[in-house]
Structure 1
Amino acid sequence: MSLLTPEDQYRRAETFAALHAGPDTFVIANAWDAGTAQIFTALGFKALATTSAGIAHTLARPDGGITREESLANAGTLVAATHLPVAADLEDGYGTTPDEVAETIRRSAEVGLVGGSVEDAVGDGIIPLEAALERLTAAIEAARALPFPYTVTARAENFLYGTTDLKDTIARLQAFEAAGADVLFAPGLTTEEQIRAVTSEVGKPVNVIAGGPRLHATVEQLGEWGVRRISLGSNLSRAAMTAAIGAAKEIAERGTFEFGRGAVLSHADIEGWYFAK
């Protein structure tokens, strides 16, 4: 259960909803533990989110390998570590039925979250639009029954599953918008043309994932293309793992410690972020 008061959760929810109402494009930083949640808060981000892959990797599992209980327990640690709104990557809703997805939304609110995403893929692939809408509708109805404005993000996963059909992706996002989703998200878009095509065909705020090797654009550029929210997915957690693995490989394979020449933060440097105002 969340340690937030109802008033605090309502404040965070309103703050999160207002960010999507604009007019500015904002970045939501994906944290994976209390420490990164506090650091990203101190750095001035306006909202945080979880990262399913980041959590899974800390448990030596592949992306998609965590349970609902593990995901929400992690989310609760982020909520407790910050005053910012926190939303969650709820993957496929941790269930195959609409009722299971609705229960995930209700339980996510119980740990203090003020938003969450629902994918249109279950298991190994994209599900038919009708089934995706049934699951999304259940999530939205559960969200609307909460005593605060919970932000529901609907995800069209085509591009992550090898289906680079932009027309179908846009049609799905339009259907999700009509069903009442608050934010629309098609992960895997990598070009200005794709992103402009999506943002020009829907009326709800669009989220784009950035920070990876395939999308080279700035916050300003993405805003000009019509993006309202920029998320980072697992990109920050993978950047941290890249540095750690690279340093460890140097030691194991070469017997040297060159990584430490000015590239390692001191305890004081790191811990200073936890007490930053």
Structure 2
Amino acid sequence: MSGPALALRALHLGRAAGDPLVLPGPWDAASAVAFEAAGFPALATPSAGIARSLGYEDGSTPADEMFAQVARIVRAVSVPVTADVEGGYGLAPKELVERVLETGAAGVNLEDSDGRGGLRDAHEHADLLAAVRAEAGDALFVNARVDVYLRDVPAPATAAVARSLRYAAAGADCVYPIAAPVADLPALRSGLGADLPLNFLARPDSPPFAELGRLGATRITFGPGLLLRTLDHVRALAEELRGA
């Protein structure tokens, strides 16, 4: 088993309810170094944040540029890094796994949006996850992003649980019903059982991390939120300099 993947997997297991794993999302090497220096044990790249930092719209970053930026982030730190590679860029599972491993990443996010504003068939996405798991073995921690809350699916919590359980059976280590509201966390945790790690997307108005953990979150990530907060500070600095 890969050392970084083993370390990342261990961070998700056996956590106390009020102690979720908090993974900041670096968009470049400098932000990654800052987060590591603050004491975080692992990092999770956000594809939307990297896109913004490279001058692309979310979802339009060329695969080569995404992998290159992930590799820069991994090289800059000593903690495990898990990489958001959106829907896999249309790569065959073997090539996708090879390219992720070439970056040095210890984990991967794969979403079940179809790139056209809808959702992939759950069976089809489970097959992709199973193929990625077969190619990667234990060398990657696989986080399956579940996009039902983004697609106006009826009874999204029920749909999220059904998809999540299917993805876990296919080999996902963790499930990520992105944009799930805080109010749905207990139902999600109940439906998933106690042992399947659950990733929650934190927002500026979210409750404290410990409360999110008690409600059912195993892992907290931020999407591009930390970059956006940083840009607010940059804009304020720019205004200050312009007025000087």
TM-score w.r.t. the length of structure 1 is 0.80
Report the aligned-residue RMSD. 1.9
User: Does the C-alpha gap of structure 1 residues 102 and 231 become closer, same or farther in structure 2, counting only changes over 3 Å?
Assistant: farther
Alpha-carbon offset, residue 224 of structure 1: 0.6
SS at match of 1:127: coil
Q: Does 1:16 align with 2:8?
A: yes
Q: Does 1:119 align with 2:106?
A: no
What do residues 148-196 of structure 1 show as CA deviations (whole Å, max 9, x unaligned)? 541001111011223352211111111111112100110001223x111
Alpha-carbon offset, residue 21 of structure 1: 1.1
Alignment of 1:30-179 (within 5 A): 30-95=25-90, 100-124=92-116, 125-144=118-137, 148-163=138-153, 165-179=156-170
Q: 1:256 — aligned with what? A: 243
Q: Which structure has more RCO (C-alpha within 8 Å, separation ≥ 6)?
A: 2
Matched letter for residue 243 of structure 2: T
Supply the distance in 2 between the matched residues of 1:82 and 1:251 (Cα, whole angstroms).
32
Supply the distance in 1 between the matched residues of 2:11 and 2:101 (Cα, whole angstroms).
19
Structure 1's consecutive aligned runs of 4 or more residues displaced over 4 angstroms after TM superposition are none
What do residues 115-143 of structure 1 show as CA deviations (whole Å, max 9, x unaligned)? 00111112121111122122222122122
* Contact preservation (8 Å) 2:153, 2:159: no
Supply the distance in 2 between the matched residues of 1:103 and 1:160 (Cα, whole angstroms).
28
Among all aligned residue pairs of Structure 1 and Structure 2, give the percentage whose two residues are the same amino acid: 32
Supply the distance in 2 between the matched residues of 1:71 and 1:60 (Cα, whole angstroms).
12
What do residues 42-62 of structure 1 show as CA deviations (whole Å, max 9, x unaligned)? 100010121111111122211
Supply the distance in 2 between the matched residues of 1:159 and 1:101 (Cα, whole angstroms).
26
Alpha-carbon offset, residue 256 of structure 1: 2.1
User: Does the C-alpha gap of structure 1 residues 154 and 18 become closer, same or farther in structure 2, counting only changes over 3 Å?
Assistant: same
Matched letter for residue 7 of structure 2: T
User: Does the C-alpha gap of structure 1 residues 102 and 227 become closer, same or farther in structure 2, counting only changes over 3 Å?
Assistant: farther
Supply the distance in 2 between the matched residues of 1:77 and 1:83 (Cα, whole angstroms).
12
Gap runs ≥5 in structure 2 = none
* Contact preservation (8 Å) 2:87, 2:110: yes
Supply the distance in 2 between the matched residues of 1:17 and 1:25 (Cα, whole angstroms).
13
Q: 2:177 — aligned with what? A: 186
SS at match of 1:87: strand
Supply the distance in 1 between the matched residues of 2:39 and 2:24 (Cα, whole angstroms).
10
* Contact preservation (8 Å) 2:182, 2:212: no
TM-score w.r.t. the length of structure 2 is 0.90
What do residues 191-217 of structure 1 show as CA deviations (whole Å, max 9, x unaligned)? 23x11111111141111111x24x521
SS at match of 2:23: strand
Supply the distance in 2 between the matched residues of 1:78 and 1:120 (Cα, whole angstroms).
25
Corresponding pairs, count? 237
Supply the distance in 1 between the matched residues of 2:53 and 2:216 (Cα, whole angstroms).
34
Q: Does 1:220 align with 2:213?
A: no
Supply the distance in 2 between the matched residues of 1:12 and 1:77 (Cα, whole angstroms).
16
Supply the distance in 2 between the matched residues of 1:123 and 1:209 (Cα, whole angstroms).
20
Q: 1:263 — aligned with what? A: none
Instruction: Compare CA radii of gyration and give the structure with the larger one.
Output: 1
* Contact preservation (8 Å) 2:45, 2:84: yes
